[in-house]
Amino acid sequence: MRTDTSATPTTVLRKDYTVPAFLVDTVDMGFDLDPAATRIATRITMRRNPASGSKEIVLFGEELELVQLRLNGKQLKPGQYQLEAGKLRIASAPAKVVLEIETLTSPEKNTSLMGLYVSNGNFFTQCEAEGFRKITYFPDRPDVMAKYTVMLRADKKKYPVLLSNGNLIEEGDLADGRHYAKWEDPFKKPSYLFALVAGNLVCQEQKYTLKSGREVLLQVWVEDGNLDKTQHAMDSLINSIRWDEERFGLELDLDRFMIVAVGDFNMGAMENKGLNIFNTKYVLANPRIATDVDYANIEAVVGHEYFHNWTGNRVTCRDWFQLSLKEGLTVFRDQEFSADMVGTDSGRAVKRIDDVRVLRQAQFPEDAGPMAHSVRPDSYVEINNFYTVTIYEKGAEVVRMYQTLFGRDGFRKGMDLYFERHDGQAVECDDFRAAMVDANGRDLSQFERWYSQAGTPRVRVQSKYDSAKKTYELTLTQTCAPTPGQAKKLPFHIPVAVGLLDSKGKDMPLRLQADGKGKANTETTRVLELTKAEQTFRFVEVAEQPVPSILRNFSAPVVLDVEYSDAELAFLLAHDSDPFNRWEAGQRLATRSLLVLTAAVQDASQAGHVVALQDVLNNAASNSGALGEAFGLILNDAALDAAFRELALTLPSETLLAEQTEVIDPQAIHTSRQYLRGKLGQALKDDLLAAYHANQTPGAYSPDAEASGKRALKNVALSYLIQADDEAAHALAQQQYDNANNMTDRLAALVALTNSSAPGKAAALEKFYEDFAQEALVIDKWFALQATAYTADVAAIRALSEHPAFTLKNPNRARSLIFSFCSGNPVNFHAVDGSGYEFWADQVIALNGVNPQVAARLARSLDRWRKYAPALQEKMRAALQRVAAAPDLSKDVLEVIGKALAN
């Protein structure tokens, strides 16, 4: 029986929260693991919660067979309990209760990858958010925390390794070739942090001594044959442990910490107490199979899950509306960790730019679309749909603003107080804010709106210099567009970091009128606190007309409207001491050119003029000369890190450009961007070639920031040269493909070839497949690079979906082809005949039957359908409606499609 589907799914409201009627002290579980039918015996000791008036026990359970139910030793018969709509209720239970529950589940039939499932013959669990209820009946909510003891029993040959949370306290052999292992987790935890792994796995392990002198055992578990790919994950784990001790004084609280890699996984990784389970994509790496980006992602995700041990596990969420309490904070921590691992100021800036790009490309559109929600939402239908860029990335920005306001030391004080108050508790976002505020002695009540209001604020800047009075005024105004269910927005508390550049490009000393006389201020960046709809800040003793550098280091998650001339942008790009704003100036300059080109292409096609497109573009591109000059300066500035130069030379993506147009025209955007890339490639040809050769990384591969930066710059140079359609560039790419000693260079060369007219491209694609047929993660790359090729039309993607190596059942593979196409190839996905949308609808419907969580992610590809021209809108609406009408839709997909059609 499927209990996760229904025609009218219920909406869960934050305001309906009530404390649990019963608290759980201990949970003892016994698993008899069998892929077809696993028997689970659970013994729960519970007692009435004095804070609740209710005597009713409510347990959740889904897709389970209930074999037996006993209360205080007595078997309960149907009638003594109610079983309905995924809930098991026992009406009037005594003050102290021991429940004994026996359930049966079929892991091999579980394609949702939630609860207990089989992947490549091994057992894994995934319980966040509400997967534990697919294992047994339980008060499966994060504010019910208990101590767990787990006995695992399985065939010893097939499943030699048996793992669960905490410490291994006993193991041994049983009859019939079976064996057992008993695990005890010394810490209270919510059920979503429960985990088990059983199977044929091997590990890299090592002992590590904490600062306190205590020794811990670290393990990275993988399938046999992958031990040559675990070193980087182990290094990242050790770095994470050390970093959390140094930066936040937080120590690993267990004697044993395990990471396990699994090939079938819905998301990136999961922070189960002491037993983190990871998508193989975020564990396995060696130079042959992993790119620089993979290496960086592994470090970030290993850090992220490890940091959850304190921010998430020791202090957890009261309810799922508080998800960003742990996710926003932990993303902020992993961002800071990655930045500190590079160490240099420019390295930190590169990381910051990368993170802001993700925010703008994915979160800003979410905030502007039908699924817009605040960092602490007020309602949801399916909680799995709320593991979003808003909860994670915008949540991290909100946490970062405390640090911007209070400084690193003030932030640390707030963290210390948070743990002092809440260790071992399940709390709310408000509790985190209170700790930050109390530790720093400031009233921050208005800051709460970052948690309650959805939408991206827009800050408009106007400036006035008075040369007689030597004053400079910045007037900031803020607005925020309505979002579904939230028409009216109140002003946010926005920290706006500002610097002023003199005519030589140097930072000016900053004195605000509000500072008063006397105290000298040597800071050249000031954080202005915008709290009203409009506010004016007056700088005094400003010797000359400055060029303002506003929102330095992206001090708040807002859109900044400021009118710069092309010359001012080029000036900022050349001189700003804030590397983020330096990059930003270049992006603004490029965006300006691209939007002019896009409008020209649209005008030409709408007017039906019989003008050659090339002429239209050439005319409109007259102002792109300045951009070419500015890019040339950056490209040739050897004082700048290669990684920074690569970011500065990369044009805003088509998706990002789309968001900045009134009505999205994917074809015109693509045409313009490709044209400008080609033009830049021609104009800067010699410099690009020189940079290509100057940034080679001979010798053994290392993923460090300097080497990976060089590869990035070299490869972006190659992509421009290829875009200029230079035959010499084809040869260069082919040569790079043949000689590469690492996946970063090999893949970059293959992408370049695939997006060129080079004669060798088909052969290279074929060879790549053959060489890496045994490496699932590389075959994912093979699908993804074809799915995002400019030449890949819907028919080509359909053909690839028939490839024997393709399957929807494996989320990584589904993402590599289907998601890459639907969200990473706008010009082909939005084919004017609507065939992309038909393909999308087919895949959403197919995935819905396999894995609702992953299907709902794909369903979001059409979120922004109302922003396209009417002809495309109609085709998108039809596709959405076809999905909406499909039978047996999960509530995951229903929620997404329902909201898209409603808003």
Give the footprint of ligand TRP on this chain (CB under 6 A).
126, 128-129, 265-267, 269-271, 304-305, 327, 387
The β-bridge relationship of strands 22-32 and 145-155 is parallel
**Please, which residue, 387 or 772, has the CB nearer to ligand TRP?**
387
Residue 122 touches which of ligand TRP, Zn ion, none (Cβ within 5-8 Å per kind): none
CB-CB contact of 530 with 496 (8 Å)? yes
Name the one range near Zn ion by CB under 5 A: 29-37, 325-333, 608-616, 843-851: 325-333
Residue 63 touches which of ligand TRP, Zn ion, none (Cβ within 5-8 Å per kind): none
Residues paired with residue 245 on neighbouring β-strands, in sequence order? none
List the structure tokens of 675. Answer: 């044209």
Minimum CB separation from ligand TRP for residue 259, in Å?
12
Minimum CB separation from ligand TRP for residue 387, in Å?
5
**Please, which residue, 239 or 478, has the CB nearer to ligand TRP?**
239
Minimum CB separation from ligand TRP for residue 271, in Å?
5
**Please, which residue, 309 or 456, has the CB nearer to Zn ion?**
309
Q: CA 433 to CA 444: how far, in whole Å?
A: 8
**Please, which residue, 192 or 554, has the CB nearer to Zn ion?**
192
**Please, which residue, 587 or 812, has the CB nearer to ligand TRP?**
812
Minimum CB separation from Zn ion for residue 410, in Å?
24
Interior/surface letters 211-250, b for 16+ CB within 10 angstroms, e for the rest = eeeeebebbbbbbeebeebbebbbebbebbbebbeeebeb
Minimum CB separation from ligand TRP for residue 4, in Å?
14
Residue 590 touches which of ligand TRP, Zn ion, none (Cβ within 5-8 Å per kind): none
In sequence order, the 6+-apart residues with CB closer than 8 A to the CB of 870 are none
**Please, which residue, 364 or 392, has the CB nearer to ligand TRP?**
392
Minimum CB separation from Zn ion for residue 327, in Å?
5
Residue 600 touches which of Zn ion, ligand TRP, none (Cβ within 5-8 Å per kind): none
List the structure tokens of 17. Answer: 């929260």
List the structure tokens of 868. Answer: 């396209």
CB-CB contact of 678 with 618 (8 Å)? no
Q: CA 351 to CA 374: how far, in whole Å?
A: 25
Residue 191 touches which of ligand TRP, Zn ion, none (Cβ within 5-8 Å per kind): none
**Please, which residue, 128 or 745, has the CB nearer to ligand TRP?**
128
Task: Report the 3 state secondary structure along 785-812.
Answer: HHHCCCCCCHHHHHHHHCCCCCCCCCHH
Residue 387 touches which of Zn ion, ligand TRP, none (Cβ within 5-8 Å per kind): ligand TRP
**Half-sphere CA count of 792, side-chain side, radius 13 A:** 26
Phi then psi for residue 590, to 5 deg, are -65, -40
In the block, tokens 């041994």 appear at 172
Name the one range near Zn ion by CB under 5 A: 77-85, 322-330, 374-382, 770-778: 322-330
Residue 264 touches which of ligand TRP, Zn ion, none (Cβ within 5-8 Å per kind): none
Which one, of 427, 393, 449, lies nearest residue 322 by Cα? Answer: 427
How many Cβ atoms from other residues are within 10 Å of residue 71's Cβ? Answer: 18
Q: CA 785 to CA 506: how far, in whole Å?
A: 43
The catalytic residue among 62, 305, 646, 654 is: 305
Give the DSSP H or E segment for 69: strand 65-71
Phi then psi for residue 759, to 5 deg, are -65, -30
List the structure tokens of 603. Answer: 């005008």
Residue 352 touches which of ligand TRP, Zn ion, none (Cβ within 5-8 Å per kind): none
Name the one range near Zn ion by CB under 5 A: 112-120, 324-332, 520-528, 594-602: 324-332
Amino acid at 794: V
List the structure tokens of 412. Answer: 């640390």
Minimum CB separation from Zn ion for residue 509, in Å?
42
Minimum CB separation from ligand TRP for residue 381, in Å?
16
In sequence order, the 6+-apart residues with CB closer than 8 A to the CB of 39 are 31, 32, 67, 102, 103, 104
Give the DSSP H or E segment for 519: none
**Please, which residue, 330 or 861, has the CB nearer to Zn ion?**
330
**Please, which residue, 262 or 435, has the CB nearer to ligand TRP?**
262
Q: How far is CA 730 from CA 439, 734, 735, 737, in A?
A: 59, 6, 9, 11
Please report, in angstroms and rounded to a whole number, the separation of the first and last CA atoms in the chain.
33
CB-CB contact of 103 with 64 (8 Å)? yes
**Please, which residue, 148 or 387, has the CB nearer to ligand TRP?**
387
Residue 259 touches which of Zn ion, ligand TRP, none (Cβ within 5-8 Å per kind): none
Minimum CB separation from Zn ion for residue 311, in Å?
9
CB-CB contact of 583 with 591 (8 Å)? no
Number of helices followed by number of strands (H, E) in the chain: 30, 32
Three-state DSSP at 539 gives strand
**Please, which residue, 132 or 782, has the CB nearer to ligand TRP?**
132
Three-state DSSP at 644 gives helix
Q: What is the DSSP string of 755-788?
A: TS--TTHHHHHHHHHHHHTT-HHHHHHHHHHHHT
* 305 in active site: yes
Minimum CB separation from ligand TRP for residue 619, in Å?
49
Q: CA 590 to CA 612: how far, in whole Å?
A: 24
**Judged by CB under 5 A, how many residues of this single chain contact Zn ion?**
2
Which residue sits closest to ligand TRP, CB atoms considered?
A: 267
Among residue numbers 473 through 532, which ones bind Zn ion (CB under 5 A)?
none
**Please, which residue, 327 or 665, has the CB nearer to ligand TRP?**
327
Minimum CB separation from ligand TRP for residue 269, in Å?
5
**Please, which residue, 63 or 393, has the CB nearer to Zn ion?**
393
Q: CA 534 to CA 97: how far, in whole Å?
A: 59
Phi then psi for residue 532, to 5 deg, are -105, 170
Three-state DSSP at 745 gives helix
Residue 323 touches which of Zn ion, ligand TRP, none (Cβ within 5-8 Å per kind): none
Within 230-370, residue ranges assigned H as helices are 231-248, 292-307, 323-342, 345-358, 364-367
Name the one range near Zn ion by CB under 5 A: 147-155, 327-335, 778-786, 791-799: 327-335
Q: The dihedral of CA 283, 288, 291, 295: what is its sign?
A: positive
Among residue numbers 253 through 282, which ones bind Zn ion (CB under 5 A)?
none
Minimum CB separation from ligand TRP for residue 20, in Å?
21
Give the DSSP H or E segment for 410: helix 395-422
In the block, tokens 């970091």 appear at 497
Minimum CB separation from ligand TRP for residue 127, in Å?
8
Q: Which residues bind Zn ion (CB under 5 A)?
A: 327, 330
Enzyme catalytic residues:
305
